[in-house]
Structure 1
Amino acid sequence: MTSSPPSLSHDANDLAAQRAAIVRQYFRMVDAGDPGLLDLYTDDVELFFPKFGHGHGKEDMVEFARRLWTDLGSIGHDIDGLDIMVCGDRVIVEGREWGTLADGTAWPDGTVSTGRFCNVFTFRGTRISSVHIYADPDIASAHTEKIQQLHRAS
């Protein structure tokens, strides 16, 4: 199912609301593995994700998803609980995510890995021209050496 973002509004408040709605749609589509997600992006979309680095264009978005889903079995986001802040052409989102790895391991572990993330979207009209995803790619807390070095038990 391919869905397009709403048409561009000339009112700044309407545009901010449209962009927030597009971000919610983005997370629903990510959770569903909907390839129509690409329709939300500009052709020259920019991506940043830790350990992946920077990507440019829809082809890199597809490659990122392919690499990410190599280890993922499922992913879900607390869409109703997203904290969405719109500031001009930027939409900053803090939230929680969870899922399973391909081997069935559930994440986050609730101790070290809590499933918190922050995404920064940049828009051109009603299309996403950039998404920077700030999340710990060690979703299953498997990087034990770094955890032992940094984790502060409550």
Structure 2
Amino acid sequence: MALTTQTMTDEQRKSVAIEYLKAFDNGGVTSAGGSILDLFADDAQVFFPKWGLANGKDQIGKLFTDVGGTLKSIVHHYAHFNWVFSGSDTVICEGTSHGEHRDWKIQRVYIYLDPDYAGRDTARYPWLNQD
């Protein structure tokens, strides 16, 4: 008997990523009622800023407990996500979420906005002067 493997389609990989994010929105519980950790391989890795790299389900569970313990709620904005697929094993999801920390203090903010609304910062960016 020959060993066969199936490659997941982009939509199948996207559905796993969405299930993961929705489980976060639902306090770590998947749509099937299982743990968010059920979505991970035993040797998976997760990096989270200010926490570091978690190796394996035990450390990933610790990471999620630590980070989740600071949150009162979180909601991802699925309708506005951008998806990028590369090869058969890379899925990139770019999007936004909102939530509430238990201590009522902002923990981290990334702003991807150019504050030069009028386009006048041409001294540092000469290509903006070109007609």
Shared fold per TM-score greater than 0.5? yes
**Long gaps (5+) in structure 2:** 117-131
**Long gaps (5+) in structure 1:** 1-8, 108-136, 142-151
User: CA 1:17–1:153 in structure 2 vs 1: closer, same or farther (change >3 Å)?
Assistant: closer
Distance 1:106 1:93 in 2: 26
> What residue is the counterpart of 1:46 in the other structure?
45
Structure with the higher fraction of residues in strand conformation:
1
Percent of paired sites with the same residue: 28
Counterpart mapping for 1:92-111 below 5 A = 92-103=92-103, 105=104
> What residue is the counterpart of 1:17 in the other structure?
11
> What residue is the counterpart of 1:26 in the other structure?
20
Letter in 1 for 2:11: A
Distance 2:40 2:73 in 1: 22
C-alpha deviations, 1:9-60, integer Å up to 9, x for none?
A: 83x5x52210011111111111101152111110011011111111101111
C-alpha deviations, 1:52-90, integer Å up to 9, x for none?
A: 111101111111111112321111101122111111200
Distance 2:11 2:50 in 1: 32
Calculate the TM-score normalised by the size of structure 2: 0.68
Indicate the structure (1 or 2) with the bigger Cα radius of gyration: 2
Distance 1:106 1:18 in 2: 37
C-alpha deviations, 1:92-133, integer Å up to 9, x for none?
A: 110001011114x386xxxxxxxxxxxxxxxxxxxxxxxxxx
> What residue is the counterpart of 2:83 in the other structure?
84
> What residue is the counterpart of 1:146 in the other structure?
none
| Number of residues of Structure 1 aligned to a counterpart in Structure 2 | 104
